[in-house]
Amino acid sequence: MLVLGIDTSGYANAIGVVDGERVLADFAFQTRNESLARIMLNIDSVLGENNLGLEDIGGFGVGLGPGSWTGIRIGVTVGKMLAYCTGKPVKGISTLEALAFCARDCQRLICAIVDAGARETIYAALYRSGHNGIHQVSDYYVGDLPGLAELVKEPITLVATDAQKYLSVLGQLLKSDAVEALETAPGGAVVALLAATRLESGENDDTLALAPLYLKESTARAFINKYKRRAQAVP
């Protein structure tokens, strides 16, 4: 199945096309303005370079976040619009899962992290590799790095766009040899690959009901808990 993947959860928007497990295109571009217009133009360009049209695409994969609130809405809107107009299925993919998938060959516990864009707050989740891909083995975590370190009980492979920044902090909180880092970004091809697997097994989302993965309430709780700890620490 030919699947078009879109991810706009970060500062770099990504577009990818896969045919089964074969990657045909994986393109990323930086954008802060005119994101909707640019992503549509780049979708046309990526398809054209591969002699494809929307009529050739069998389904769509969309990055749901967490990440940039504004950016995620754009990608999800584009994915829903394309799926609705073509009558093809769409599948939403967590940005954290897309990151973890990049470390699928690692034997350690995989810890995917996304900057929440609010001071020291992060989004994270833990995954393990298996014969059927990767599997999420924790709830979504929203908080700071010290709180995340308390949840980690074994060596991990840390996966993030700015992994080196987190590596230095977690290396101090945990044993230095307990943390290794893979610095990468959730690409459009990764989103497409994950979506293709699910779409081919008949697993797809309701096009009109598909929504970004927002963790607003969890983010608010993380702030409240952090300030409570600080207040309790003051004599």
- pLDDT at residue 226 greater than cutoff 90: no
- 78-121 pLDDT, tens digit per residue, is 999 999 999 999 999 999 999 999 999 988 999 999 988 777 88
Considering only residues 144 and 232, tell me which one the structure prediction assigns the higher pLDDT.
144
> Can you give the pLDDT at residue 11?
79
Q: Grade residue 36 by pLDDT with cuts at 50, 70 and 90.
A: confident
Q: Are 124 and 114 in contact (CB under 8 A)?
A: yes
Give residue 14's pLDDT. 94
Cα 96 from Cα 45, distance rounded (Å):
27
Write out pLDDT tens, residues 110-162. 999 998 877 788 999 999 998 778 999 999 999 999 999 999 989 999 999 98
Neighbouring C-beta atoms of residue 158, cutoff 10 Å: 26
Q: What is the CATH number of domain 2-94+186-220?
A: 3.30.420.40
pLDDT higher than 70, residue 172? yes
Whether residue 220 is predicted with pLDDT greater than 90 in this model: the reply is: no
- The CATH superfamily holding the domain 96-183 is ATPase, nucleotide binding domain (3.30.420.40)
Average pLDDT over residues 195-223: 81
Q: Check residue 169 and give its pLDDT.
A: 87
Burial label, 176 (beta-carbon count in 10 A; 0-12, 13-18, 19+): exposed
Q: Which regions of the chain carry the CATH code 3.30.420.40?
A: 2-94+186-220, 96-183
Q: Which long-range contacts (CB under 8 A, 24 or more apart) does 133-139 make?
A: 133/101, 133/104, 133/194, 133/197, 134/97, 134/100, 134/101, 134/104, 134/110, 136/97, 136/100, 137/109
* Range name among 7-16, 70-79, 84-93, 208-217 with the lowest pLDDT average: 208-217
Measured CA to CA, the distance from residue 205 to residue 83 in angstroms comes to 10
Answer for the pair 226, 122: CB distance below 8 angstroms, yes or no: no
Confidence of residue 193 (pLDDT cuts 50, 70, 90): very high
Question: Do 23 and 16 form a contact (C-beta atoms < 8 A)?
Answer: yes
Do 4 and 60 contact (CB within 8 A), yes or no?
Answer: yes
**First-to-final CA distance of the chain:** 62
- pLDDT interval class at 33 (50, 70, 90): low
Residues sharing a CB contact under 8 Å with residue 59, sequence separation 6 or more, in sequence order: 1, 2, 3, 4, 83, 88, 89, 90, 91, 195, 196, 199, 204
At 30, the pLDDT band (50, 70, 90 cuts) reads confident
The model's pLDDT over 50-74, given as tens digits with 9 standing for 90+, comes to 999 999 999 999 999 998 878 889 9
Structure tokens given for 225: 């808990």
Q: What is the pLDDT of residue 133?
A: 82
Query: Bigger pLDDT: 81 or 34?
Result: 81
What is the average pLDDT score of the chain?
Answer: 87
> Could you check whether the bond before residue 212 is cis, i.e. omega within 30 degrees of 0?
no
Q: Per DSSP, which regions of the chain are E strands? A: 2-7, 12-19, 22-30, 59-63, 90-93, 109-118, 121-130, 133-136, 141-143, 156-160, 179-183
Question: What is the C-alpha separation between 224 and 121, in angstroms, rounded?
Answer: 12
For residue 174, the one-letter residue type is L
Helix pair angle (35-49, 69-86), 10° resolution: 50
